[in-house]
């Protein structure tokens, strides 16, 4: 089993906790390890992918289409390594389009605490990706072997970003200047990504890849961590095997908040996913960036 | 009281329904009239604004900041004129950032049925809009008196769009060709908007304005109605009084789905809100549009 599938896997069997606690738990159970961390927190993309795995299982059981085509999430708290409880809610089962919600909880010692809440729209993505009328232009990128390995660009930060070991992430040299203290100031990161263990991308992993790059604000010289407040993604096609091409941009930065837009193309140059998140940032002083 | 405030107003007092039904209802009560319809359905923006009014009231009562800065919604069913029940849920109260969810329900004869579910991030927007570092460029538009009144552009469709009477909506002539069967094919609509009764824009009405224009796919020659599957918006500043400037674009159209991006600038040219929705479209035949 690949690392991603192990990490997002869920079971109906509760972990061995005290009887009293177990009684309060109903849902699907998982376990976050320490291999997918950014600092002390489990990567938000992995949390979303885990939640969608639970909702997809519930929707499949209810007889509805089970691939997310759109999803939106808020994060009342950061997820940490340890057991997780996933509570899917089937809201509406349609023949072509279904709707649901899902919560992901962890026990903080005093009982379950919500880490993520998501709403989602599910369908058969195979039926909703053709014909292609128009899509975002594919960004020009040097081939992966001429790009910069992210763990090298991250320099001293790399040690705190465990998740980099799970990924093969290559940054376009034109947008990797932040690694040597020379951000372009454009507000854009471009690069290639795939799992380090060779697992191919699929619909289940796209929500993760949408949140797998460094914050785009690195390219504006803001090197602090950028906590996601709200995240919204669209999945538009099942990805072909191979490298994913990723572009992150930000346009509106004000009041300590910015939007990060992400678009992902698969190896056939097809747009397979896009997202927008609102996140927090502490801009370097110096006024209008 | 203005029309918008009347329509989105909520009360703790249940409408006079049969005793048995009333017992099942807990939440805030409202009433959708027939002045804000698009075809037979209440405009989705009005539904979202009503839901956020309920969540804001609950958050205020819980002692948390009560202005939405980000919100995401799904629509299990279309809202229709008649009583509505709003059920807010305070998920997390923070000093600066709070998180919540809200459901909007209507009785379809067999009990409450969910019409909209939303998650949202709330804050004091005054504390989160300055300083301004960068924002989307303001689109060049002819002044409102040189633009085309939407109800005129809509032609025969106008009668089915009751909501046009509530709005003063002026389209840039360059993007209003759909009204005479000559869409530009670019996938962009631009224009000005304000309430017809002179009510000024504010944070409460921005979620409505984000979903108040005709579908951007009109500019691609797809004149069918475009049902929203999932909607996500960011509010970035409190709008100044006066006209709002609006730009709608779409880039990814495939498999009967498209994303509609909306940006709104206030009369001081400040970006006050932006959104992205995934919606359904039936493209005219002819292949690559």
Count Cβ neighbours within 10 Å for each residue of B171-204 and write b for 16 or more, e otherwise: bbbbbbbbbeeebeeebbbbbbbbbeeeeebebb
pLDDT of B287: 45
CB-based contacts of B25, cutoff 8 Å, min separation 6: B14, B17, B85, B112
Whether B13 shows a pLDDT value over 90: the answer reads no
Q: How confident is the model at residue A273 (pLDDT cuts 50, 70, 90)?
A: very high
- Nearest by CB to B133, which of A121, A130, A283? A283
Q: Does the structure show a pLDDT above 90 at B25?
A: no
List of chain B residues whose C-beta atoms are within 8 Å of the C-beta of residue A118? 119
- Residues within 8 A of B (CB atoms), A 85-144 only: 91-92, 97, 99, 101, 114, 117-121, 127-136
End-to-end CA distance of chain A: 45
CA distance A107 to B227: 39
DSSP A81: S
Distance CA(B114)–CA(B104), nearest Å, equals 6
CA-nearest residue to B120 within chain A is A74
Average pLDDT over residues B139-149: 96
Count of residues making up chain A: 289
pLDDT at B183: 95
Residue B155 predicted with pLDDT over 80:
no
Q: What is the pLDDT of residue B24?
A: 58
Q: How far is A189 from chain B, CA to nearest CA, in Å?
A: 17
The Cα A209–Cα A102 span in angstroms is: 20
DSSP A239: P
Task: Tokens for A149, please give them.
Answer: 């390995």
Note whether B229 contacts A120, CB cutoff 8 Å. no
Q: How far apart are CA B11 and CA B29, in angstroms?
A: 5
Check whether the bond before B131 is cis (ω within 30° of 0): yes
Q: B212-229 pLDDT, tens per residue? A: 999 999 999 998 889 999
Best of B48, B87, B187, B254 to disrupt the A interface by mutation (most A CBs within 10 Å)? B254
Contact B132 A255 (CB under 8 A): yes
Closest residue on chain B to A132 (Cα): B254
Q: Please list the residues that pair with B188 across neighbouring strands.
A: B249
DSSP 8-state code for residue A119:
E
- As a whole number of angstroms, the distance between CA B66 and CA B58 comes to 8
pLDDT for A17 beyond 80: no
The per-residue pLDDT for range B119-136, each reduced to its tens digit, is: 999 999 999 999 999 999
For chain B, the distance separating the N- and C-terminal CA atoms, rounded to the nearest angstrom, is 45
Residues A117, B99: C-beta atoms closer than 8 Å: yes
- Measured CA to CA, the distance from residue B38 to residue B139 in angstroms comes to 27
pLDDT band, very low/low/confident/very high, at A95 (cuts 50, 70, 90):
very high
Give, in order, the Cα–Cα distances in Å from A259 to each of A250, A282, B201: 6, 13, 23
The confidence score (pLDDT) of residue A15 equals 63
State the DSSP string of chain B: --HHHHHH--BSSPPS--HHHHHT--SEEEEE-SSSEETTEE-HHHHHHHHHHHHHHHHHHTTS--EEEEEEEE-SS---SEEEEEEEEEEE--SSEEEEEEEEEEE-SSSEEEEEEEEEEEE-GGGGS-SEEE-PPPPP---GGGSEEHHHHHGGGGGG-GGGGGEEEEE-GGG-GGGGT---SS-EEEEEEEETT-PPP-TTTHHHHTT-SPPGGGGGT--S---EEEEEEEE-SPPPSSPEEEEEE---EETTEEEEEEEEE-TTS-EEEEEEEEEE--PPSSS--
Q: Helix (H, G, I), strand (E, B), or coil: what is residue A251?
A: coil
CB–CB of A255 and B135 under 8 A?
A: no
- Using CB atoms, pick whichever of B119, B131, B133 lies closest to residue A72: B119
Q: Are residues A212 and A43 in contact, defined by beta-carbon separation less than 8 angstroms? A: yes
pLDDT 10s digits, A206-249: 999 999 999 999 999 998 889 999 999 999 999 999 999 999 99
Tell me which residue has tokens 């009144």: B149
Q: What per-residue confidence (pLDDT) applies to A287?
A: 44
Q: What ipTM was predicted for this assembly?
A: 0.94
pLDDT, greater one: A23 or A221: A221
- What are the tens digits of pLDDT across the range B234-272? 999 999 999 999 999 999 999 999 999 999 999 999 999
Question: Can you read off the two tokens belonging to residue A24?
Answer: 């309060």
Measured between beta carbons, which residues in chain A are less than 8 angstroms from residue B232? 72, 230, 232, 276
């Amino acid at each position: 089993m690949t690392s991603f599938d192990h990490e997002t896997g869920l079971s109906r069997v509760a972990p061995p906790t005290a009887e009293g606690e177990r009684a309060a738990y109903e849902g699907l159970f998982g376990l976050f390890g320490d291999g997918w961390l950014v600092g002390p927190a489990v990567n938000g993309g992995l949390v979303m992918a885990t939640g969608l795995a639970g909702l997809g299982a519930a929707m499949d059981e209810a007889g509805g289409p089970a691939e997310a085509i759109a999803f939106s999430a808020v994060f009342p708290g950061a997820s940490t390594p340890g057991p997780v409880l996933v509570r899917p809610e089937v809201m509406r089962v349609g023949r072509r389009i279904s709707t649901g919600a899902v919560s992901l909880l962890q026990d903080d010692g005093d009982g379950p605490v919500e880490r993520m809440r998501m709403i989602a729209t599910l369908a058969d993505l195979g039926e909703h990706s053709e014909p292609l009328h128009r899509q975002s232009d594919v960004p020009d990128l040097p081939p992966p072997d001429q790009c910069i390995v992210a763990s090298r660009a991250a320099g001293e930060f790399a040690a705190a970003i465990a998740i980099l070991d799970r990924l093969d992430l290559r940054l376009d040299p034109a947008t990797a200047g932040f690694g040597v203290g020379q951000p372009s100031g454009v507000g854009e990161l471009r690069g290639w990504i795939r799992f380090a263990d060779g697992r191919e991308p699929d619909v289940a992993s796209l929500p993760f890849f949408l949140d797998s790059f460094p914050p785009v604000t690195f390219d504006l010289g803001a090197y602090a961590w950028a906590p996601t407040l709200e995240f919204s993604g669209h999945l538009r096609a099942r990805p072909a095997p191979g490298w994913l091409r990723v572009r992150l941009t930000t346009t509106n930065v004000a009041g300590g908040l910015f939007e990060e837009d992400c678009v992902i193309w698969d190896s056939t140059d097809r747009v397979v996913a896009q997202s927008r998140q609102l996140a927090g940032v502490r801009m370097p002083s110096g006024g209008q960036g």
